[in-house]
Amino acid sequence: MIEAVLIVGGLGLVSALGLGLASLKFRVEVDPRVEALEGVLPGANCGACGYAGCSALAKALAEGAAEPTACTPGGAEVAGAIAGILGVEAGTTVRRIAVVHCRGGRGVALDKGVYVGVPDCRAAALVGGGPKLCSAGCLGLGTCERACPFGAIHLDGAGLPRVAPDRCTGCGACVDACPKRIIDLEPDGCRVHVRCRSTDRGKAVKAVCSEGCIGCGRCAKACPVDAIAMDRGLARIDPDACVSCGRCAAVCPTANIDDLVAGRCKALIDEPACIGCGKCARVCPVDAIAGERKAPHRVDADRCVGCGRCAPVCPAGAIRDGDPIPTSVETAA
């Protein structure tokens, strides 16, 4: 009996000693910040940062290999938390969301024929470029929908992907999944989009799609801030220059340009309240505001496009909504 206790006890003692020594000698240094960083990352493992997942990014952040703003889905909030843990400045992030540059759904864009094959856009694109006659057209088989880790893209009734802006985190998974390269990440601030990527001539576009960009250039002429450039037969909006005034959408003959601003109004300056600082005049992209220094300023209603940039900069809160500007849909009707 006593022998057994001694043998088992002795074995236990020796093993404990061995384990204890090993844990001292072979100890793995764990950066406590990695765990903390993992805690603040979203945990979706979407891969938008370019790392294998959230833990991989946490490790890279701790090593200084990634910027605090690397997590796009997390946005400014997560970037701030990361910067706090790492003790650095967060920098700024511009929220970007996915935009689908095609409106050639069923009944709008023509098909080459009946497609009987693998229900995946990337596989369909291998069969003569896909079933759409337009070589830049959305194939509508939902590969982007399945690629989205946040459930922010769904095909609508016409088989076109619709992005839910509040769910989209700008991770870019759909951008990579689309074989036609018609999805882009664009700054959330730009609310007007050309929904076409075909650089074909107008006649060729019209032959295959009733709502494609025909390259007429009317939008570029209508743009008060020169944010639209014509690239072969296609209008392209520079999202950084665009003021989302919607004038391009109003003149587009094929109604291709999307205007997502719900309603805009002309700016109106409450003259007694205006202190004449001139800040609004400086931010106005169309030079619609004028006035003497230290005297009330006025808005030229004919020029004002209702972009809304002046109101937030007014230190006196003297700018409010004036007459509503009809939207492009109302203009058309």
Partner 1 sequence: MSAGRTFKRGGVHPPGEKHRTAAVAVEDAPLPERLVVPVSQHIGAPARPVVKKGDRVLAGQVLAEAVGFVSVPVHAPTSGTVRRVDVAPHPMGTPQPAIEIEADGDDAWAEPLEPIPAPEAADPSVLRRRIQEAGIVGLGGATFPTHVKLSPPPEATIDAVILNGVECEPYLTADHRLMLEAAGEILAGLQIVLHLFGLERGWVGIEENKPDAIAEMGRRAGDGGWAEVVPLEIKYPQGAEKQLIQAVLGREVPSGALPMAVGAVVQNVATAAAIHAAVVRGRPLVERVVTVTGPGVREPKNLRFRVGTPVRHLVDRCGGLTGDVAKVVLGGPMMGLAQHTLDVPAIKGTSGVLCLTRDRVRTAPAGPCLRCGRCVDACPMGLEPTGIAAAIGADLVEEADRYHALDCIECGSCAYVCPAFIPLVQSIRYAKGRVLSWRRKRGR
Q: For partner 1, how many residues bind (rule: CB under 8 A)?
A: 16
Which residues within the stretch 217-236 sit at the binding site for partner 1 (CB under 8 A)?
none
Name every residue whose Cβ is closer than 8 Å to that of residue 182 and which is 6 or more positions away in sequence: 100, 101, 102, 136, 137, 138, 197
Question: Nearer Cβ to partner 1, position 180 or 191?
Answer: 180
**Whether the Cβ atoms of residue 144 and residue 154 lie closer than 8 Å to each other:** no
By beta-carbon proximity to partner 1, the closer residue of 141 and 237 is 141
**Nearest distance from residue 104's CB to partner 1, in Å?**
16
Nearer to partner 1, 149 or 285 (CB): 149
CA-nearest of 171, 174, 326 to 259 is 326
Q: Closer to partner 1 at the Cβ: 36 or 133?
A: 133
* Residue 56 vs 123, nearer CB to partner 1: 123
**CB–CB of 277/260 below 8 Å?**
no
Cα–Cα distance measured from residue 317 to residue 325, given in angstroms and rounded to the nearest whole number: 21
Contact between 52 and partner 1 per CB under 8 A: no
Contact set for partner 1, span 60-119 (CB under 8 A): 112-114, 116-118
Is 30 or 114 the residue whose CB approaches partner 1 more closely?
114
Give the nearer residue to partner 1 in terms of CB position, either 117 or 253.
117
Residues 6+ apart with CB under 8 A from 206: 212, 214
Nearer to partner 1, 87 or 128 (CB): 128
> CA-CA distance, 275 to 278, in Å (whole number)?
8
**Rg, the chain, Cα only:** 28
Min dist CB 128 to partner 1, Å, is: 2
Neighbours of 14 (CB within 10 A): 10
Q: Which helix (H) or strand (E) holds 119?
A: none
User: Under a CB-based contact definition with an 8 Å cutoff, are residues 322 and 268 in contact?
Assistant: yes
- In the complex, what is the shortest distance from the CB of residue 235 to partner 1, in angstroms, rounded to a whole number? 20
Q: Which C-beta is closer to partner 1: that of 150 or that of 261?
A: 150
As a whole number of angstroms, the distance between CA 37 and CA 31 comes to 10
Rounded Cα distance, 252 and 216, in Å: 9
Phi (first) and psi of residue 204, to 5 degrees: -65, -40
Which tokens hold the place of 124?
Answer: 């369909």
Rounded CA separation 203/226 (Å): 25
Binders of partner 1 in range 133-162 (CB under 8 A): 133, 135
Minimum separation from the CB atom of position 115 to partner 1 (A): 10
Residue 123 beta carbon to partner 1: minimum distance, rounded to whole angstroms: 4
Closest approach, Cβ 117 to partner 1, in A, equals 5
Residue 262: CB minimum distance to partner 1, A: 38
Considering the complex, what minimum distance in angstroms separates the CB of residue 149 from partner 1?
A: 13
Phi, psi of 81, deg, nearest 5: -65, -40
Task: Give, as ranges, the residues between 108 and 137 that touch partner 1 (CB under 8 A).
Answer: 112-114, 116-118, 120, 122-123, 126-130, 133, 135
Would you state the structure tokens that stand for residue 58, as one six-digit string?
A: 């946490």
CB of 203 to partner 1, least distance (A): 13
**Residues in touch with partner 1 (CB under 8 A):** 112-114, 116-118, 120, 122-123, 126-130, 133, 135
